[in-house]
Homo-oligomer: A and B are copies of this chain.
Amino acid sequence: MASSDPELEQAASRIRRAYQPELFRAAGDRLIDQLASHLDRSEQSQGSVLNWTDPRQLTAQALDSLNAFRAAWKSPAEESPAVGDARCVEQFARLVELALANGINLHDPRYVGHQVPAPVPLAGLFDCIGAVTNNPMAIFEMGPWASAAEQAMIRTLTGHIGWDSANSGGIVTHGASIANLTAILVARNVKLGQSWEQGIAPELQSAGGQPAKLVVQADAHYCLARAAGITGIGTNHVVPAVLDSRRRMDPQRLDDSLTDLKRRGHPIIAVAASSCATPIGAFDPLVEIADVCRRQEVWLHVDAAHGGAALLSKKHRHLLAGLDQADSLTWDAHKMLFVPALCAFLFYKNKQHGFEAFRQSAPYLFDPSTPGLAEFDGGLRTLECTKRGAALGLWGVWSLFGPQLFEDLVDVTFALGRTLYEKLAAADDFVPLHEPQCNIVVFRHIPAKLRDATPAEVGAFQLRLRRSVIESGDSYLVPTAQNGVAALRCTLINPLTTADHLDNLLATLRHHGERLT
């Protein structure tokens, strides 16, 4: 406390009460009990997958809780700390219950939705170490173990890519959108050497005036086109790389496209391939693409946010052959390594490239008297300054269960994708739209009554069907579109889902479909 001002004394006393370790212990014990029971119910499909409430109504409820709950907790002057603490823990538990009762339950095996996993529950506990102790790691000093754990994971995963950890490196960031942006920024800064300082405009004028181009898998995640919009390249200068019949990048047509762009004088920032692309989970043929990029001397970035984890599976790592030839790649641990959001890795074959993304002076952050430590100060290489200990969950789960668990998770969920596909293909009222390479499956439900419907009618039905299913809480899946017509999309990313659950998914869709037609 700062002075003997009685108001400040009282403020300090209220603060000490909120910071009491024993209050934390009592609330924490309740939280673990609540979370364990909630997991148990979710894993057994008790309750809804999604607890759907209109967003306006739920926001009003959250606003109420900001005012209502504390009204019930009196100030320290009014009651003894012991009584006050017990009331505080009760109210804490009610708030937790409110959050749990109104969320989506990814651990329910009926959840087959976005590329967001039902995480290994213990990963969330390791995450909690960082949340309580707050070790923010822009510089090593401010999060020594969080930084060391991140470095250790980077070295371990680059080993699985097939890279030498002396030359390769990487960084953890808050999601693949940021990782992909950072990679494109590095490629831009390498290709247009002064664009960081001079901006894009004079660079291009000196280069002959032709706009720079970014070549992107036609089905790539939207963040890659965004990166062009953000970095001053312009989304109009994103050149979609042509796909083959299975929606994979066609290396020969990529080669032709690069030759044509060069002939017309366009600087080429990078080629961005996908492992896999989001719409149907297609893996680009990286060996051939890398060969084209090497000959054409173009930076190769691979968005392996979803598929990177297949490196850990003996059965599926062939999908990533050639990944070691990329200049940079993104790999989300919060997708197929089954840790909670967000933990995305950006890797560089040549770790020096990590320092090309950003440049800044911040004397209060980076101590000039210890240059040897700069390599460990992540803030020089990440978009974030203050950063969560985002790799703690992965480090902890890996340390406990080893790579076997991650191999299991890939193998089981990829096999589920295949199983769902086979069930859809065997049913006469479902149409799978592709043969899956992983755990993403796109299809339509076409009940007999809709056999003669127009494509627009079929598409509208898929969207209504999905909304009916998700709002009922019976399952959770995702809308998409193929050839301009809406469709349904599942990612099998809860490893507790079984073949029986997939039978039930089809039954649920039929049941809701009947009510809608």
Contacts and interface: CB of A to CB of B under 8 A. Distances in A.
Contacts of A122: 18, 23-24, 27, 92
A127 B404 CA distance: 29
B341 A2 contact: no
A296 interface: no
A193 to B, nearest CB: 12
Contacts of A18: 120, 122, 397, 401, 405
Interface stretch (A322-330, A360-368, A508-516): A360-368
How many copies of this kind of chain does the complex include?
2
A154 B102 CA distance: 19
A28 to B, nearest CB: 4
A36 B50 contact: no
A361 B340 CA distance: 25
Interface size band for A = 35 or more
Contacts of A428: none
A103 B148 contact: no
Interface in A23-52: 23-25, 27-29, 31-33, 35-40, 43, 50-52
A174 B181 CA distance: 15
Contacts of A404: 14, 75
A466 B58 CA distance: 49
Given A52-B144, A134-B341, A142-B113, A128 B15 contact: no
A395 B62 CA distance: 8
Given A70-B401, A364-B478, A31 B416 contact: no
Interface string A66-89: 100110010100000000000010
Contact of A28 (B125, B176, B226, B235): B125
A83 to B, nearest CB: 16
Contacts of A36: 21-22, 24-25, 28
B37 A33 contact: no
A107 B19 contact: yes
A492 to B, nearest CB: 8
Interface stretch (A241-249, A386-394, A447-455): A386-394
A517 interface: no
A167 interface: no
A162 interface: no
Contacts of A69: 399-400
Contacts of A265: none
Contact of A361 (B28, B126, B222): B222
A205 B203 CA distance: 13
Contact of A31 (B7, B88, B128, B211): B128
B234 A196 contact: yes
B198 A200 contact: no
Contact of A363 (B37, B92, B480): B480
Contact of A342 (B223, B226, B341, B384): B384
A385 B50 contact: no
Contacts of A153: 66
Contacts of A131: 123-125, 127-128, 131, 340, 393
22 contacts: A15-B405, A15-B495, A25-B36, A55-B148, A62-B395, A65-B399, A70-B398, A95-B400, A102-B144, A102-B148, A131-B340, A134-B334, A134-B340, A175-B386, A198-B236, A202-B234, A221-B362, A222-B360, A278-B362, A279-B364, A364-B480, A370-B467
